[in-house]
Structure 1
Amino acid sequence: MSTTKNYAGIADEHAKLETSKIVLIPVPYDGTSTWQKGADKGPEALLEASRNMETYDIETDTEVFKQGIYLADSIDEKESPKAVVKTMHTTVKDYIKRNKFVTVVGGEHSASIGTIRAFSELYEDLTVIHIDAHADMRKEYNGSKYNHACTAYEASQTTNLIQVGIRSMDVLEKTVMDEEKTFFAHQMIQDEYWIDNVIDACTENVFITFDLDALDPSIFPGTGTPEPGGLFWYETMDFLKRLFEETNVVGFDLMELCPIEGDKTSEFLAAKLYYKMLSYKFQGQEVEEDYNNTYAAKDKAGLGKLKDNDKD
């Protein structure tokens, strides 16, 4: 029996923590955004849209929800941006250690600092694919290094950071950016091999942090900082499908959904995008009737091995 409290209204048998391969963590936070507010309403809007979405994916011929999708408690930390990052770090790290494929839905992008920190501590040779309209490479902004404008800076110091779709930045961000691993939107449109080049630059394990303003505002207006010249649906699907096929994606987040009152376009697209990414990840994997939290099961799920000192 389906229940509305679960992701996509799936039946309880597919939504239990113990038997689910996938964990979805909502982060209704909007503490440092500097223009349009409302990203704190993004997670609930995506969840509501998911409950009105077909759960059979035509392209992959799968029903990925049968792998189990556990809807975790929302991260409702509001004390400070630093506190949000700390809570994200500890929460995500805990679920990774439980051998789950961890996903996050936000909420403003600053929360991803904590998420990326957890993945980088637990996975060797981590590449972070940062899909965004904005570089987010400031070391600090408005007196804080936990600002949405700083999302990618720490990752640039601790991981193999690859940035995709960038079309807005401050000139000072060029001083810390690796331009050989930055794929600017105006160059991508002229380069038929950009997907190949991104994949060639990846290491063993990949985490995707997806700021939804990377998408063109003509198909995705519901974000706090819309920028013209963004990605469209099928080129995004081509890119993501190849990432999941050719690298070991160990987790992802979707951030910066800012719902527009009276227009459900953006939240439904975000819900569909989230489900497509799961469908690509688990395509070809059988549903395990008796899934258990062992490292053997983790390896079957294709999540890879944790760093030796973090297996306890």
Structure 2
Amino acid sequence: MQKYQPANSFETPRFCGPRTFMRLPYKPTLQDVDFIVAGIPFDTGGSFRIGTRFGPGAIRNTSILLRPYNPNLEVNIFDYLSGVDYGDIAVIPGYIEDSYEKIQKAIEPVIAAGVVPVFMGGDHSITLPELRAIAKVKGKVALVHFDSHSDTWDAYFGKPYNHGTPFRRALEEGLLDPDHSIQVGLRGPLYNPDDWQTARNLGLEVVTARQVRELGLAETARRIKERVGTQQVFISFDIDFLDPAYAPGTGTPEIGGFTTWEAQYLLHHALTGLNYAGFDLVEVLPAHDHSEITAFAAAGMIYEFISLMALNKKANNEIPVK
């Protein structure tokens, strides 16, 4: 069996070689891999600032500083996992429904191979074709959604597909199991008082940013875990879940958000041991990201998710990959 792991930075400096996530091999293969990291550089669904098509490249650039041992989770990722940078999924700029078809078609073989996909956006509209691909192969899944926005509007500018509507469409299409799905961190001004209630009416549990503060991180994490249970779960992390002080480079920033440490805490305590169907991190906009603050945060969140996959294998007493 071929094992894929990052280049050794004691042997070659981090600034050498092509930019891939965490210096993983660039190899569009599904053989002998547990997970792939893939970019989806699409931002036609954006409603305010655009440029998140350059998000995957920015995340790759900062990810070269990541190291294989996660001291907080006490796991060496590549003792248990084999993974590659799968490259970017081709899209058609300006044509959202055509791009959806291309994205779904590219993802379906990944899911069918039993490989866990980790996607880098792109705006949040890309999550809909991701979920379509997963549901076509595996059926509906639970959702854990970290975001300052619910993304459950019916339409934006009269159009049904954009970064404000993916989860409403996903629920309407039967891609998600609402009884085991939860949105966390919602905040910011709304168009009307029913915006968050719309998500609840669709069957989602909603924990706003204010409620997270009142409940505390530990109780919030417990609620997430309890909500998902044993269901297969897709985790979608919008970088604007973080406060703009920690993630200024995003399309629709909202004040009153979370620190990177708080986000790490929630990932560690809420997602440990779940049955992962996949993960995406979206809305990184490099043009507004001074000092690469947002890209570093995004790379770190993806790293934590990959670490959680390794922790699952370690907890199951699986023999380390040789």
Partners of 1:88 and 1:276 in 2: CA distance = 25
Are 1:190 and 2:214 counterparts? yes
Letter in 2 for 1:287: P
Letter in 1 for 2:64: R
Partners of 2:90 and 2:140 in 1: CA distance = 31
Are 1:99 and 2:127 counterparts? no
Q: Which residue of 2 aligns with 1:215?
A: 242
Question: What pairs up with 1:157-176 in 2 under 5 angstroms?
Answer: 157=172, 158=174, 159=176, 160=178, 161-168=181-188, 169-171=190-192, 172-174=194-196, 176=198
Q: Which residue of 2 aligns with 1:229?
A: 256
Partners of 1:124 and 1:136 in 2: CA distance = 22
Letter in 2 for 1:34: S
Specify whether residues 65 and 49 from structure 1 end up closer, same or farther in structure 2 by C-alpha distance, changes over 3 A only: farther
Specify whether residues 143 and 78 from structure 1 end up closer, same or farther in structure 2 by C-alpha distance, changes over 3 A only: farther
Q: Which residue of 2 aligns with 1:238?
A: 265
Superposition RMSD on alpha carbons, in Å? 2.3
Specify whether residues 20 and 177 from structure 1 end up closer, same or farther in structure 2 by C-alpha distance, changes over 3 A only: same
Check whether the contact 2:20–2:61 (CA below 8 A) recurs between aligned residues.
no
Check whether the contact 1:16–1:68 (CA below 8 A) recurs between aligned residues.
no
Q: CA deviation at 1:196?
A: 1.6
Question: What pairs up with 1:70-85 in 2 under 5 angstroms?
Answer: 70-79=84-93, 80-85=95-100
Partners of 2:119 and 2:90 in 1: CA distance = 13
Query: The residue matched to 1:198 in structure 2 has which SS?
Result: helix
Check whether the contact 1:208–1:251 (CA below 8 A) recurs between aligned residues.
yes
Query: The residue matched to 2:156 in structure 1 has which SS?
Result: coil
Are 1:206 and 2:233 counterparts? yes
Counterpart pick for 1:7 among 21, 24, 32: 21
Specify whether residues 98 and 37 from structure 1 end up closer, same or farther in structure 2 by C-alpha distance, changes over 3 A only: same
Q: CA deviation at 1:58?
A: 1.8
Check whether the contact 1:124–1:205 (CA below 8 A) recurs between aligned residues.
no
Q: CA deviation at 1:212?
A: 0.6
Report the TM-score, using the length of structure 1 for normalisation: 0.84
Once the two structures are aligned, what percentage of the paired residues are identical?
23
Check whether the contact 2:39–2:119 (CA below 8 A) recurs between aligned residues.
yes
Check whether the contact 1:16–1:69 (CA below 8 A) recurs between aligned residues.
no
For these two proteins, the number of residue pairs brought into alignment is 288
Counterpart pick for 1:132 among 147, 165, 171: 147
Structure 1: stretches of 5+ with no match in the other structure: 290-312
Specify whether residues 264 and 19 from structure 1 end up closer, same or farther in structure 2 by C-alpha distance, changes over 3 A only: same
Q: In the TM superposition, what whole-angstrom CA distance separates every residue of 1:143-196 from its partner, at most 9, and x where no partner exists?
A: 322211102112333222311111144335346321670111111110132222
Q: In the TM superposition, what whole-angstrom CA distance separates every residue of 1:211-253 from its partner, at most 9, and x where no partner exists?
A: 1101111111111111011122232222212333242122100
Partners of 1:5 and 1:16 in 2: CA distance = 18
Letter in 2 for 1:38: G
Letter in 1 for 2:295: E
Query: The residue matched to 1:152 in structure 2 has which SS?
Result: helix
Partners of 1:195 and 1:145 in 2: CA distance = 32
Q: Which residue of 1 aligns with 2:295?
A: 267
Counterpart pick for 2:63 among 50, 56, 76: 50
Q: In the TM superposition, what whole-angstrom CA distance separates every residue of 1:56-88 from its partner, at most 9, and x where no partner exists?
A: 322233332452222223123125111222222
Are 1:177 and 2:209 counterparts? no
Q: In the TM superposition, what whole-angstrom CA distance separates every residue of 1:277-298 from its partner, at most 9, and x where no partner exists?
A: 1101211154334xxxxxxxxx
Are 1:19 and 2:32 counterparts? yes
Q: CA deviation at 1:50?
A: 1.1
**Stretch deviating more after TM superposition (110-119 or 173-182):** 173-182
Specify whether residues 134 and 195 from structure 1 end up closer, same or farther in structure 2 by C-alpha distance, changes over 3 A only: same
Partners of 2:226 and 2:296 in 1: CA distance = 32
Partners of 1:56 and 1:246 in 2: CA distance = 18
Report the TM-score, using the length of structure 2 for normalisation: 0.81
Check whether the contact 1:128–1:155 (CA below 8 A) recurs between aligned residues.
no
Letter in 2 for 1:19: D
Q: CA deviation at 1:130?
A: 1.4
